[in-house]
Amino acid sequence: MILFHIDSGLGNQMLAYCEYLALKKSNPGEDIYTETLVYEIPECDKTISQWNGFELERVFGLKIPNLKDLLSEKDYQYVKDCLVKSEFWRKNWNYSPYVTKALSDIGHNLENMCQINNEYPQKSAIKSFFGKSRQVQLLKYYYLRHKQIIDTKAYVNQYNHKTYLFGKYHDAYLGQKFSFIFRDNGIEQIKDDILKSFVFPEIKDERNRQLASMLRSTNSVAIHARRGDMLGRTWVYYQGGYFKRAVSYIKKHVDSPVFYFFCDPGSSEWCMKNLNIFGLTKNRDNIKFVTWNKGNDSFRDMQLMSYCKHNIITNSSFGWWGAYLNTNPDKITCTPDWAYNSTNHF
């Protein structure tokens, strides 16, 4: 048996599902279950936002075998209680020892193969960066950017987890790596399964239907300006000129581009007031904002971004999926990181 942990928002859930597909491909004889306990523990949301809860079934109709299907109600509650008691969210999100220990107590001995990812977009990160010099962080960004240019292969290789993703396991507990967002991790091996799995539900409301038609009929460019919980990690892209470079490239290669902003709640007004940071001006450029898809309808923004001809994103998996699912054969997808699986990096 293989047990696979899933948490976080829809974009990361989709990356985790890709890892589930990879596990199925490389372990055809194993029973594979997912573990989604985090969504049942409200305290976790204070450390890492779980957004709208577990959405893969609600949005895409994906029914994945879950730990709940394997255990009795009593045993499942025991595992959950042990996890709550551990307060792992205060311990670098290190949930795996407590899950495997609780499972062992009820007769399921699994090897802990989790490698905790320290790159989670924690809410506390927003507070932490205010205590540091922005100038120092900008200098670090410029240095790393230059280093990535001259040493791209070595930089990308540090994100290569193909052996882990397509490994063979037995009686193991694994945690999500989110690695399919990066280049050279073998996503092409499961691409057909991905496209079959992630089919958005039909748009029925008139506002989104009209927008979808406009996106498909113009040289639409999605700009995913996610600030909010990610600002502690993404502010340097705004101050370091990433968006200006990406927009400049688009303008040179796309005729009459129409820029559509997709933002997290609360960021639209800031973007409207700071268009210069994006290399845009209200009078000269064709700019529109998509602000109405919220809560359980937030996934519509990802769907609409995938209908755009081109995409400019940061290091958000939600925005990345909008770019990846874009079916335009001539699409330009821009990211600020050389390791990301996109057509261009700035």
Q: What is the pLDDT of residues 98-141, one digit of tens each?
A: 999 999 999 999 999 986 654 444 444 444 444 455 666 666 66
Q: What is the pLDDT of residues 195-235, one digit of tens each?
A: 999 999 999 999 999 999 999 999 999 999 977 655 656 67
Name the band, by pLDDT with cuts 50, 70 and 90, for residue 146: low
For residue 223, give the DSSP letter: E
Same-domain status, 258 and 174: no
Same-domain status, 304 and 182: no
Same-domain status, 234 and 339: yes
Q: How many domains does the chain have?
A: 2
pLDDT for the residue numbered 138: 64
Residue 78: is its pLDDT beyond 70? Answer: yes
Tokens 């993404």 correspond to 234
Q: What is the pLDDT of residues 187-197, one digit of tens each?
A: 999 999 999 99
Tokens 């300006």 correspond to 225
Rounded-to-integer distance, Cα 169 and Cα 176, Å: 15
Same-domain status, 231 and 339: yes
Provide mean pLDDT across the span 232-260. Answer: 91
Weakest mean pLDDT among 140-154, 184-198, 323-337: 140-154
Same-domain status, 72 and 174: yes
Same-domain status, 46 and 180: yes
Same-domain status, 61 and 89: yes
The answer to whether residue 245 sits within a structural domain is yes
Same-domain status, 188 and 43: yes
Query: How many residues make up the chain in this entry?
Result: 346
The answer to whether residue 301 sits within a structural domain is yes
Taking all residues of the chain, what is their mean pLDDT, rounded to a whole number? 90
Query: Helix, strand or coil for residue 102?
Result: helix
The answer to whether residue 144 sits within a structural domain is no
- List the domain range (segments joined by +) for residue 48: 2-122+161-193
Provide mean pLDDT across the span 22-32. Answer: 97
Domain end position, chosen among 152, 173, 193:
193
The answer to whether residue 324 sits within a structural domain is yes
The answer to whether residue 229 sits within a structural domain is yes
Residue 153: is its pLDDT beyond 80? Answer: no
Contact assessment for residue 52 and residue 295, using Cβ atoms and an 8 Å cutoff: yes
The answer to whether residue 141 sits within a structural domain is no
DSSP characters over 128-152: HHHTS-HHHHHHHHHHHHHHHHHSH
Same-domain status, 213 and 320: yes
Report the chain's terminal Cα–Cα distance, integer Å: 43
Assign residue 339 the CATH number of its domain. Answer: 3.40.50.11350
% pLDDT > 70, the chain: 86
| Residues 6+ away with beta carbon under 8 Å from 115 | 164, 175, 177
The answer to whether residue 289 sits within a structural domain is yes
pLDDT for the residue numbered 136: 67
Residue 11: is its pLDDT beyond 90? Answer: yes
Number of Cα atoms under 13 Å in the Cβ half of residue 191: 8
Same-domain status, 241 and 176: no
Structure tokens at 1: 């048996």
Provide mean pLDDT across the span 165-189. Answer: 95
Rounded-to-integer distance, Cα 280 and Cα 311, Å: 15
pLDDT for the residue numbered 129: 43
Name the band, by pLDDT with cuts 50, 70 and 90, for residue 143: low
Phi, psi of 262 (to 5 degrees): -120, 115
Same-domain status, 28 and 100: yes
Same-domain status, 22 and 81: yes
Rounded-to-integer distance, Cα 145 and Cα 160, Å: 19
The answer to whether residue 146 sits within a structural domain is no
